[in-house]
A and B are shown apart, each in its own frame.
Chain A
Amino acid sequence: MQTKRTIFHNRWLPYLLLAPQLAITVIFFLWPAAQAVRQSFLREDAFGLKTEFVGLGNYLRLFSDPSYLNAFQVTAVFAVSVAALSMGLALLLAVAVDRVLRANQSYTTLLVWPYAVAPAVAGVLWWFLFNPTIGILPYALEQLGYDWNHNLDGTDAMILVVIAASWKQISYNFLFFVAGLQAIPQSLREAAAIDGAGPVERFFTVVFPLLSPTTFFLLVINVTYTMFETFAVIDAATEGGPSQATNILVYKVYRDGFVSLNLGSSAAQSVILMFIVIALTFVQFRWIERRVQY
């Protein structure tokens, strides 16, 4: 692609124009990141009076700490469940809507509505639905013989946060899936129909493979989202409990750092998280660039 090139005659003007953006990056990202890296090599006592350099001590302690390894496992379960649930449901909805859209184009604008409404309503909605005292779902489950209590039961708590976190993602995933499905030419499905593939077979042998760039993109986005942006969901719903059953990595950084004031360990954890983000971003760019549409 040809981009428009501007020639600056003043040597300093380009730097001046870049300065605000650079300043924001440095102040809000690079500097705190550097602080975290520095902090992660130090150990401070609880009163902040004494600081000593411990090298990789904080990291080594983390990896022999059962509660940290547990957080890793919880995060993995959480991320995979949220990605699977939110993407699965979104794909199901998208396939249904795609059929309607192919018959009638005028519905397209309506699709943006759930995206505008969903996040705002989601919090309140799930809080009401699952509230053990006034919620309808615990009541319904009780009728079915299941004693729902996410305050005591780790699995219930995990299910709750997975649903709450997925809910927000569904509309986002849904839009991408609809766009992806719409981009698949109708004639391919027709060719497959003539080639003797039933609707289900058609979906798995033609539609889904062609959707794989979208699916992969969403997978990375969703995993990133569950790992880093579900802090509020966890904090509001379970606070990482009961007994650490929903204590994901990001939440543990916060608990250890700001509640337990174990700053060295917290910093080491955030540095590890930072590397995970970098890795995910790298994967995203490398793979998506290479595996774009056919």
Chain B
Amino acid sequence: MARIDLDSVRKIYPGGVEAVKGVDLPIEDGGFVVLVGPSGCGKSTLLRMIAGLETISDGEIRIGGRRVNDAEPADRDIAMVFQNYALYPHMSVRQNLSYGLRNRRMARDEIARRVEETARILEIDAFLDRRPKALSGGQRQRVAMGRAIVREPAAFLFDEPLSNLDAKLRVQMRGEIKQLQRRLGTTSVYVTHDQLEAMTLADTLVVLNGGRIEQAGRPLDLYRHPDTTFVASFLGSPAMNLLSARVSGGDLRVGSLPLAARLPVPDGPVTAGLRPEAFRLLPDSTSGAFRLDYVEELGSTRLLHGHLEGQRLVCQMGIEHPLADRMTLDLDPEALHVFDAERGRRLDTAWQRAQIRSLA
């Protein structure tokens, strides 16, 4: 077990693509860090640099305090789970698990002990002598996990390990990975583009955008206080509503509709963020500003899709609430996030922090 430190790490691929543009990230011993972001934001590149599968163009990576920039993958004491599992097709499950141990010249009875132990933990003992071809996707996934666990490395690296599984199995494996990591206490770095997977697994969630860290922190902190519109819209499903608005004299209006007053925010155009579940809509057929377009039933809740001052707005409410063609917003001003209209940076941080403190 070990901590991992990234110091202004950069990656410039031959050909000039700058995939990672200076990332600083301290990862605690035993921490579970999830890197999340849209396709092409450099998640895999960053992970592969930690693994030693890509050279580090600039900056420094330390594992357990030791600089590993020039160390071979084998000498970094890490194990990696690949998206396509990368099981050796010509070896049995047992051989797949023991390959890394045999290469390290471990004693034979110790190898046997560890393989048995790992197989028991992951419940793959029944097919230790099968080839990967004769396993289901979920079983292969377990074997891939087993190959990482059996080595007892300082850190696990996962690159979208669940993306080849069906939705149900993904949820189940997600839970198992989390439990396993808790139990083993091994430092883990996990790459995914699925925000739900990211939220549920992470101790520390790192949102990447265009090769830079957009925001890092505990999942709920990121969810509640996104620093940018990018993080705001990336986390949460359905995504946060982002409305063009204007502040004048501390009053925030969307079109002609006032949403909040006395904001400590300079005058000018802003982006107002509203989580779909953070407000309610009340029927008001005469003066309601929200025009309902259609409703999606989710079972216990429903999604109301409509327009507010010509801008699209989604609201998530319990099914007990009455519906109407025109509705008014019932909004707690604290649920409102205010971002700079141009750069998408949060404007109301100080104000909101003060609010939270006064509540506590």
Contact = CB atoms under 8 A, between A and B. Distances in A.
Interface of A: 103, 185, 187-188, 190-198, 201, 205-206, 209-210, 212, 294
Contacts of A185: 84, 86
Interface stretch (B97-105, B314-322, B335-343): B97-105
Contacts of B72: 193
A209 B53 CA distance: 23
B161 to A, nearest CB: 12
A191 B80 contact: yes
A196 B90 contact: no
Contact of B104 (A196, A205, A210): A196
Contacts of A190: 51, 53, 73, 80, 82, 86
Contacts of A188: 86, 88
Nearest to B99: A195
21 contacts: A185-B84, A185-B86, A187-B84, A188-B86, A190-B86, A191-B82, A191-B87, A191-B88, A191-B147, A192-B99, A193-B53, A193-B72, A194-B52, A194-B100, A197-B74, A197-B103, A205-B99, A209-B90, A210-B89, A212-B90, A294-B89
B33 interface: no
B24 to A, nearest CB: 25
B78 A194 contact: yes
Nearest to B104: A196
Nearest to B53: A190
A294 B131 CA distance: 9
B276 to A, nearest CB: 39
Contacts of A209: 90
Contact of B51 (A103, A194, A205): A194
Interface in B66-124: 72-74, 78-80, 82-84, 86-90, 99-100, 103-104
B218 interface: no
B321 to A, nearest CB: 50
A194 B79 contact: yes
Contacts, number: 63
B130 interface: no
B155 to A, nearest CB: 11
Contacts of B151: 195
B89 A187 contact: no
A196 B80 CA distance: 12
B103 A201 contact: yes
A201 B131 CA distance: 21
A185 B99 CA distance: 18
Nearest to A194: B73
Contacts of B178: none
Given A190-B53, A191-B82, A197-B99, 6 more contacts: A194-B53, A194-B73, A195-B74, A196-B104, A197-B74, A212-B90
B89 A191 contact: no
Contacts of B80: 190-191, 194
Nearest to B100: A195
B358 to A, nearest CB: 51
A75 to B, nearest CB: 33
A192 B133 CA distance: 18
A210 B90 contact: yes
A206 B103 CA distance: 12
Nearest to B98: A195
Contacts of A195: 74, 99-100, 103, 147, 151
A196 B84 contact: no
B99 A294 contact: no
A103 B54 CA distance: 12
A209 B96 CA distance: 14
A198 B133 CA distance: 26
A206 B74 contact: no
A18 B100 CA distance: 57
Nearest to B48: A190
Nearest to B144: A191
B74 A196 contact: yes
